[in-house]
Amino acid sequence: MSESAQQSISLAILNGDRQILVDRSGGVPALPCVDIPRFTRLAYALTIAAREKYRLELFVITTTVADAGSLSTDSNPAWLISVCRLQDESALLPGHIEWFDPVKAESEMPLKDGRMISRALEEQNLYERGIKPSSFGRYSALDDLRSWYAPHLAKLGVRKSSIQQWNGDPWFALFRVVVEPIGEAKPETPKALWFKAVGEPNTREFAVTQLLARECPWWFSTVVATKPEVNGWLAEEVDGHELDLEPDGRPWALTARVLAKIQTLFINREDELLDLGCEDWRIPRILERIDPFFESMIEIMARQMQSQSAALTASEVQHVAQQCRDLCREVEDIDIPYSLAHGDFSPHNVIVHNTWPVMIDWAEAYVTFPFISWEFFWNRMSKDHPEHAEWRERMHRNYAYRSWTSILGRNRVDEGLRYSPAMAVLVHALQGSEDTISGKPDPSLDKIRRSLVRRLHRELELLQPVGAL
């Protein structure tokens, strides 16, 4: 793997007495450090790397940036440091790893490591003392969680064997709890469970997950227990594999049908879904966002440097905005009822269990024109699996006609699906543009936004009658 594909993370590993682990293998005391692939789940990659390099089982508490100050270079302006703890404080340490008082460690370490220790401990101490609120920023958070879920595991006839962390910061948690039976295992005894907790802006997932697991138990994993104070829940693991890895077309078609069934179940329940925190992307809100978004896009297009794709002119952007307003009114005229939609539905959100789809991860829960979820799913499948083009007709039939036609009739379904590609791109563009609307755009996202608007332009043009000006 190339150096640019890796990122280096220093580790401030604490114990309950606020001592820090130091690596003495290089002669001079230094912080343990691991290299992990970029664009991966940091906690997951970091804990695996620490196990392989140091034989340490860690739990990530928080990760922060420690400014390098006068030591910075253009290629390394700052360092990442993760505050961690051992899962088991009594675990045997490698011979070259030992506990140090932080003050002693800082005095004996290179200046860079000393600065990182100071920054990491300063940040974590704010969480420890409650000066900065958090769900998982304290050292004892892992102990608290284990004490909480232990009796729930016991009711299932199992106990914790190990945990593997996937995500970890002061507000979010995701880890897999591997379990072993207490006594004789039964066929229904789980092999693992997942704990997930969410913070802003995804707190809606806590309530939405409970609703879906309660009302659609066949299509969602079983929620064993909830911890409302951290927006967390413990759920049984679904034994299977991601739909994206499924070589048979039948589970793909079943997923399309299940998605439609879930959505039709929540027709005329807008207020209930909004009260749970689902984002409001109904037509009136979309119309409110169109003008400020496209006004900002005129400036963003003007900032484009040379590119293979030409920037749209100001008049072209204004024309796209008008087409979007017309699109919204045309969709309103079809009168497709609003329902629950997944704003990022893909084959990675589905686990196949005995050929049957089970849904996971509904953080992007919307109340909106429901067919956009189908469009996200369809588009992702078409792009990632062109070799399975023959599955598409069955998927389309299952989504469009096995559930929706009995409610809307064939003509309204067909009309709604004709508009769904453009509506999906429009909602996606607006959903990721709150900073542009607030007047504080992130220039690093300019390229993505220009690409979305160009695609929206193409989708809208495809809706125009042949020969229209």
What does the pLDDT look like over 275-299, one tens digit per residue? 999 999 999 999 999 999 999 999 9
How many Å apart are CA 208 and CA 277, to the nearest integer? Answer: 8
Mean pLDDT over residues 369-388, rounded?
A: 94
- Residue 161 burial (CB count, 10 A): 12
For residues 212 and 292, membership in a common domain is answered with no
How many Å apart are CA 359 and CA 383, to the nearest integer? Answer: 21
For residues 289 and 368, membership in a common domain is answered with yes
How many Å apart are CA 142 and CA 163, to the nearest integer? Answer: 11
For residues 358 and 372, membership in a common domain is answered with yes
Domain count across the chain: 3
- Would residue 136 count as lying in a domain? no
* DSSP code at position 1: -
pLDDT for 196? 97
Fill in the amino acid letter for 407: I
Mean pLDDT of the chain: 91
Cα Rg of the chain (Å, integer): 25
From the list 339, 346, 459, the residue with the least C-alpha distance to 408 is 339
pLDDT for 3? 54
How many Å apart are CA 127 and CA 137, to the nearest integer? Answer: 5
Q: Per 3-state DSSP, what percentage of the chain is helix, strand, and coil (rounded to 5)?
A: 50, 20, 30
For residues 434 and 295, membership in a common domain is answered with yes
Alpha helices in 161-248 (DSSP H): 204-215
- Would residue 117 count as lying in a domain? yes
pLDDT for 70? 42
428, 343 contact by CB (below 8 A): yes
Mean pLDDT over residues 128-132, rounded?
A: 95
- Would residue 135 count as lying in a domain? no
User: Reading across the β-sheet that carries 223-227, which strands appear in turn?
Assistant: 158-168, 173-181, 192-197, 232-236, 223-227
Q: What confidence category does residue 105 fall into, taking pLDDT thresholds of 50, 70 and 90?
A: confident
For residues 253 and 154, membership in a common domain is answered with no
The CATH number of residue 400's host domain is 3.90.1200.10
pLDDT for 74? 43
Domain boundary among 98, 128, 158: 128
Range(s) of the domain holding residue 168: 141-236
From the list 178, 166, 232, the residue with the least C-alpha distance to 205 is 232
For residues 257 and 213, membership in a common domain is answered with no
pLDDT digits (tens, 9 = 90+) for 413-422: 999 999 999 9
pLDDT for 13? 96
Task: Kindly tell me if the per-residue pLDDT of 75 is higher than 80.
Answer: no
pLDDT for 344? 87
- Would residue 468 count as lying in a domain? no
For residues 228 and 246, membership in a common domain is answered with no
How many Å apart are CA 160 and CA 179, to the nearest integer? Answer: 4
For residues 252 and 229, membership in a common domain is answered with no
Mean pLDDT over residues 322-340, rounded?
A: 97
The CATH number of residue 153's host domain is 3.30.200.20
Strand 6-14, strand 78-86: pairing:
parallel
- Residue 155 burial (CB count, 10 A): 9
Domain boundary among 128, 158, 182: 128
Fill in the amino acid letter for 103: V
For residues 213 and 259, membership in a common domain is answered with no
pLDDT digits (tens, 9 = 90+) for 397-450: 999 998 899 999 999 999 999 999 999 999 999 987 765 555 566 777 888 999
Mean pLDDT over residues 84-98, rounded?
A: 92
pLDDT for 399? 96
Q: What confidence category does residue 307 fall into, taking pLDDT thresholds of 50, 70 and 90?
A: low
Fill in the amino acid letter for 218: W
For residues 273 and 386, membership in a common domain is answered with yes
pLDDT digits (tens, 9 = 90+) for 172-218: 999 999 999 998 888 888 999 999 999 998 999 999 999 999 999 99
pLDDT for 437? 52
pLDDT for 77? 46
